[in-house]
Structure 1
Amino acid sequence: MPTTPARTTLGSAGPTTSALGLGCMGMSDLYGPADEAESIATVHAALDAGITLLDTGDFYGMGHNELLIHDALRGRNRENVQISVKFGAQRGPDRTWLGYDASPAATKTALAYTLRRLRTDHIDVYRPARLDPNVPIEETVGAIADLVQAGYVRHIGLSEVGADTLRRAAAVHPISDLQIEYSLISRGLEAEILPTARELGIGITAYGVLSRGLLSGHWSNDREIAATDFRGHSPRFQGDNLAHNLSLVEALRKTAEAKGASVAQVAIAWVASRGEDIVPLVGARRRDRLAEALGALDVTLTPADLAAIEAAVPAGSAAGDRYAAAQMAHLDSETSDR
């Protein structure tokens, strides 16, 4: 049996939760077709294994993901689960992306619909999915603070923002955690964002720890990508970029095999090793992938292991940006700290 995840606190102001979380996006959207029954079974398996942090967004499947989580939690003790919800991304009925709205009115409206879909009276961590370029972060955080005061939200988080935005937000209300991509091939937060978060007592919930499957050890150069899978447009999954990035995975595989672990387990363990204030989110949508991810809890990386991993996948060695250019332009975490 894999080790049960340890308990931790998201930053100095956040909730107590499991030190490994489950990212639920792929159960509803963006990674191609998913099996709803298997998705619910995977959530059940995660809860039974001791994972209590479930991450979602109100725009994942245009509300489908929240409805799915509600179904998965039926009959479970709500107080034993921490639900983290992102909001603000606007989508049309054809699934197109229409921009962001994190204005105070939109923030409170989005929360009302989220509570209804999840059939709960509170959200544990509520966060804008991106910085709205038309709304000062102080206004967005202030609106969520009103919801905290009213009891509808317990903690405020942020997602993909830079160091300056972190400081401005924390001046309005305590911030529990910053959700941001962090993996062996996505290490941009290490220069300024991570030190600032630590200075302010803000935790990190790290998504994309397997770079959307690229670091899973299961991806191949000839894999068919569904039309609804956004990886078909991701620079790291294209042509020569993909070939180069898969060569990094093969180098990492040698280190993993020497540890008696899988590539995915070593990649997750590496993120977890970066600090007790970092909680990896694993995006498993099947029970077998979840079981593999849980095995990372049994992987202890020695200084020699860490050196070998760094040699296999040096910082900055990935080919291609983590999002397409249009999406990169919306990342305050990428644009504000340059």
Structure 2
Amino acid sequence: MKIPMLDLTEQYQSLKPDIVKALDEVMGSSHFILGENVRKLEADVASYSNVRYGIGVANGSDALHIALLACGVGPGDEVIAPAFTFFATAGAIARAGATPVFVDIDPLTFNIDAGQIVSALTDRTKAIIPVHLYGQTADMDPIIALAHKYKLHIIEDAAQAIGSQYKERKTGQLGTAACFSFFPTKNLGAYGDAGMIVTDSEELAEKMRVLRVHGSKPKYYHHVLGYNSRLDELQAAILNVKFPHLERWNELRRDKAGIYSQLIRERLSEEHVKAPLVGKHDEHTFHQYTLRVKNRDALQQFLKENDIETMVYYPKPLHLQPVFEYLGYSEGDLPETELACKEAISLPMFPELSIEQQQEVVGKIQAFYEGAV
């Protein structure tokens, strides 16, 4: 049984008539940039996030960069972020001219350790980027308290966590602004690159709208240096078809995660495999179902040989990446992050994943460890 990390074919077939119709309408309108589809998606995602404004941009990486610039982050500033995340988090900080300051993670959730942020603060700290990794929110109350105390911006990196909740508050409403990615693999995925920023601040929303169109307002009059980063109508039309299904898809992901966790409890020892922890106040959306395991690389190779695809997010932490060598970090500086890079492995996860496929995945993991001990 060949089991992929992600299979979008069944989802597409179920939505194909609506998607084809939506794309045909865009083609017929001949309006491809910042039209009605983008405006509808912006309004719907903002409302879903319990804030007032959505700003569609070209991708999730640009969303982070533009949000930082709108908040006034630039050269001489520092921005605190975890080192266990996708490169775009820190890349956006550096491209804004600021300095990434990395903080270790909570080993139970893979998210930034809120208790370690205060020791990383300096008089140059301008913002904090908590990453809601794999679909679970960071521990936000202490982060919000620090931001209020020291007058810092919080920019949520919610690229993997649309629809996730922390104490009944949605991602998107937990900071100054939040950034979503609609990369095709995400819970709400386009058929190419796409992203969005949401915020409750009218002032910031207007700055972001200007920044995404070359810093121009009105057209051809440029008061700031902006970018060409617009969410196009074709991708927005696809996302508008998909958006009403997001809650059901997220619920299915939670169901699949529950099945995985039950199978793992029944068949595997915690000495070898630790299932993901869901915080008691969290509503996880399981963009990824990520384990901590012993002999990770050997396990991944074994599963590959048995036609089971897995992914390692992330094999090398950001503070040890060559591009950030100038920051002066060394191995051992963030021990929990570095350990997670050696132990984390993500299993196949998508709403249409069958119980038989899950049983096969866990069965092969069981076979690996029973053969290894």
Normalising by structure 2, report the TM-score.
0.32
Larger radius of gyration: 2
Normalising by structure 1, report the TM-score.
0.34
